[in-house]
Amino acid sequence: MEYTKLRKQKIKFLVIFSMIILGQFLASSLVTSFTTTDAKNNDYSPNLPDKIVYQNSTEPVIDGDLESYEGEWENATTYSADFGRNHISVSFRVQANLTHLFMGFSYTSSIYIPINTTIPPGDSYNNETHTWYAILFDSNYDTFFGSDVAPDDAIAINYREEGARDAYVNGTGDVNSFVTDLNVSGEENTFSALTEYEDDFHDHVVSVEVVKELKSEDILGNDIQLNPSETMKLSLIVFQNYTAIFNNTFLYDNRPTSWLTFTLEKQHTYFSNIEDFAEMDVLAYVSDSYKTAWENMSSFTNFLSSYNMNVTRVGPDDEFIFTTARLVELDLVILAGSLRDLEDDEIDALRFHASSGGRLMILGDAGRGAQRVNDLITYFGLEIYNATLFSKELAINSSIFVDSSAFYDLDYFSSSTAFTNQAVDMIRYDGSAINFTMETGEGTIELQDGDLYPTIEILGDYFIDLDKDGMFDAANDLSINDSATLQAGVELQRGGRLIVTASSDLMNNSYFVSESNRYLLLRQVQWLLGFQNTISYDNYVIAQTEILIGEEINVNISITGDNGTILNNLRVYIAIQELKTDLNTTNLATNLTTIDNTNYNGSIIPQTTRNKSKFVDITVRMHLRGHGYNETALFQIYVGPIISKPLEPDIIALLIFIVSIGLVGVGAFALKKYKVIEEEI
């Protein structure tokens, strides 16, 4: 009997303990089910770029002595590098004020041949053998020493006689790569100084100081034009025992330093870096287009890499396959060219990615290969014409220049951004145009609220040159009267953002030398990544969590933009959801009203065709073109039945009840049949 009693107590304990555990599990499940996680992680420590050059008031004396007074270079950003076959170590310093860039470097070497020949102004550096220097800037952002497309800015230093000379590395492939920059209208103020002495081991200790304008008045585009927040790569070349007559073989034979990268920032802006750019994963898929070969599309990817983004560049030869699993890990996908090698499954994966909240930048194609591009973007209401855009005015024709008047009034085109405060002035354009296959403005795109609109639109009489003769022929060409859309934007309620440009040529290596093209890319990339131009909300209040059928739900909410700014013309509306499907919002006045453009309020009555109790989800959606969509946390509202009316039977609940009764009966039968007979001990 004692054994049986103990056994019963143990079973009773286990049953009670199991019920407690089950109750805790169910309670936690219910809490999880009815709680919306919308908290933001404020514990954030950004990984700032390693090499920031701050604009400050310190100006080193350009005398060739890096330590001519204490603290002369104390605000400099320092680098350790090496050059030459023997990997000679060099210490490099970069410093800036509001107008000039200061550079200093020093090294020790057994080879040093001074110059004795005076070089007449304007001559090339074709003189007797000597030691001389060059600082090369990757001003075309292709990460090459020189280019076949556009020149790189340079400083050539023949210290004894010339001091320093403004130059550039010729982009034409000539043997004499360094060319004197003789742009008389914008010759920059560049000069240098050098000191040299022998140490106790008869090695030569050389120090050089250089100053260069951040922005000259060069109208030919051969000089750097550096503004705050921009990044630049530079390299030092030391020619020991060489003449200045050399080609690329001589250039690499002297083993220049690796690229030394710095980001120019205003003083006291160290804590303004609010985003960790290094955590941004960007994939650039670059293919051939009618206008631009893929190898001439490297500058824009290198430029984004200089901002510490994780940029991966792939092409058709890399056998990269777009899948949903790969895309979900990326912050931004850039597609350039014809995309003719993409399979249908890849198009579907990209489409689903954007529809689910992904960000795409598409640089299209003006040729027949644009069909694959159109297979993707047609889902979002637009397509690219399969031929080049021309003006009917022969004076303009294919040389189309787009100024700021062609850009739509969007905040990310005009306001300060996370990357640049510089305005987009004028860009050159060669390519096709965009045709909208659905009505622009707000509507339903990919089964959700969306907004389709032009971002760059030029006025005038244009045509699509279908017969490719460069002349307008009404019988064979497509006339586009009044205006032509060069770029369009798409914003989706689930967070997806797209920017579609009709020509990838806009970002080719030669056009990318232009400041405006770079600023355009920066402004649009920061918007796509969601660094700026956001909509935030606070004081979101729904007083009633339980109502009866026919009663209204009152909503109060405060909404602002970046840094608490007021957003004009903001659309704020209520969405009622059941089983993730919007209900009865099309025929109701669901827009909330406001007086101060910050605090919004209104009400809605959930409609139902069945007079029974139910739960509905309510959310507030906000949209402003150029800011995208935002959505509040969901509130679950219990809609109870009207008491005076009988409840309709719920078939599912009735079936569950009947099955439960059956299970109880089966359990009782089993318990009786298999009851344990107690034995006395």
Tell me the CATH number at 178.
2.60.40.1190
Domain count, the chain: 4
Q: Which of 215, 240, 270 is the last residue of a domain?
A: 270
Residue 450: band (very low, low, confident or very high) from pLDDT cuts 50, 70, 90 = very high
pLDDT tops 90 at residue 623 = yes
Residues 6+ apart with CB under 8 A from 249: none
**Whether residues 240 and 363 fall in one domain:** no
Asked, for residue 28, whether it belongs to a domain, the answer is yes
Average pLDDT over residues 454-475: 90
Asked, for residue 522, whether it belongs to a domain, the answer is yes
**Whether residues 578 and 450 fall in one domain:** no
**Whether residues 655 and 621 fall in one domain:** no
Q: Which of 243-247, 396-400, 576-580, 668-672 has the highest mean pLDDT?
A: 396-400
Q: DSSP labels for 546-580? A: EEETT--EEEEEEEE-GGG---TT-EEEEEEEETT
> Can you give the length of the chain in residues?
681
**Whether residues 173 and 197 fall in one domain:** yes
Share of the chain above pLDDT 90, in %: 30
**pTM beyond 0.75:** no
Q: Which helix (H) or strand (E) holds 136?
A: strand 130-137
pLDDT tops 50 at residue 119 = no
Please give the pLDDT value at position 278.
62
Per residue in 275-326, pLDDT (tens digit) is 556 678 999 999 988 888 888 899 999 889 888 789 999 988 898 999 999 9
Please give the pLDDT value at position 272.
35
Alpha helix segments (H runs only) across 319-378: 324-327, 344-355, 370-377
Please give the pLDDT value at position 406.
93
Q: Which of 222, 244, 270 is the last residue of a domain?
A: 270
Please give the pLDDT value at position 140.
84
Asked, for residue 46, whether it belongs to a domain, the answer is no
Please give the pLDDT value at position 560.
92
- Nearest Cα residue to 492 out of 618, 374, 625: 625
Average pLDDT over residues 515-537: 89
**Whether residues 622 and 499 fall in one domain:** no
Asked, for residue 438, whether it belongs to a domain, the answer is yes
DSSP-assigned letter for residue 494 = T
**Whether residues 250 and 137 fall in one domain:** yes
Asked, for residue 402, whether it belongs to a domain, the answer is no
pLDDT tops 50 at residue 32 = no
Tell me the CATH number at 502.
3.40.50.880
Phi, psi of 518 (to 5 degrees): -70, -40
DSSP-assigned letter for residue 225 = B
Please give the pLDDT value at position 588.
47
Asked, for residue 427, whether it belongs to a domain, the answer is no
**Ramachandran region of residue 669, left (φ > 0), alpha (ψ -120 to 50) or beta?**
alpha
**Whether residues 301 and 286 fall in one domain:** yes
**Whether residues 245 and 326 fall in one domain:** no
Asked, for residue 331, whether it belongs to a domain, the answer is yes
Per residue in 480-490, pLDDT (tens digit) is 988 999 999 99
pLDDT tops 50 at residue 124 = no
Instruction: Identify any residues that bridge with 333 across adjacent strands, giving them in sequence order.
Output: 283, 360
Asked, for residue 304, whether it belongs to a domain, the answer is yes
**Whether residues 193 and 336 fall in one domain:** no
**Whether residues 123 and 219 fall in one domain:** yes
Domain that holds residue 553: 535-640
Distance CA 632, CA 621 (A): 7
With beta carbons less than 8 A apart as the criterion, state whether 517 and 507 touch.
Answer: yes
- Cβ burial 140-171 (10 Å sphere, 16+ → b, else e): bbbbbbbbebbbbbbbbbbbeebebbbbbbbb
**Whether residues 524 and 451 fall in one domain:** yes
Share of the chain above pLDDT 70, in %: 72
Tell me the CATH number at 623.
2.60.40.10
**Whether residues 150 and 25 fall in one domain:** no
- Nearest Cα residue to 424 out of 434, 416, 414: 414
Lowest mean pLDDT among 83-92, 220-229, 582-591, 637-646: 582-591
- Nearest Cα residue to 224 out of 301, 169, 178: 169
Q: Which of 270, 297, 316 is the last residue of a domain?
A: 270
pLDDT tops 70 at residue 572 = yes
Please give the pLDDT value at position 411.
86
pLDDT tops 90 at residue 501 = yes
SS3 of residue 327 by DSSP: helix
Per residue in 255-273, pLDDT (tens digit) is 788 889 988 887 643 333 4
Please give the pLDDT value at position 36.
32
Mean pLDDT of the chain: 78
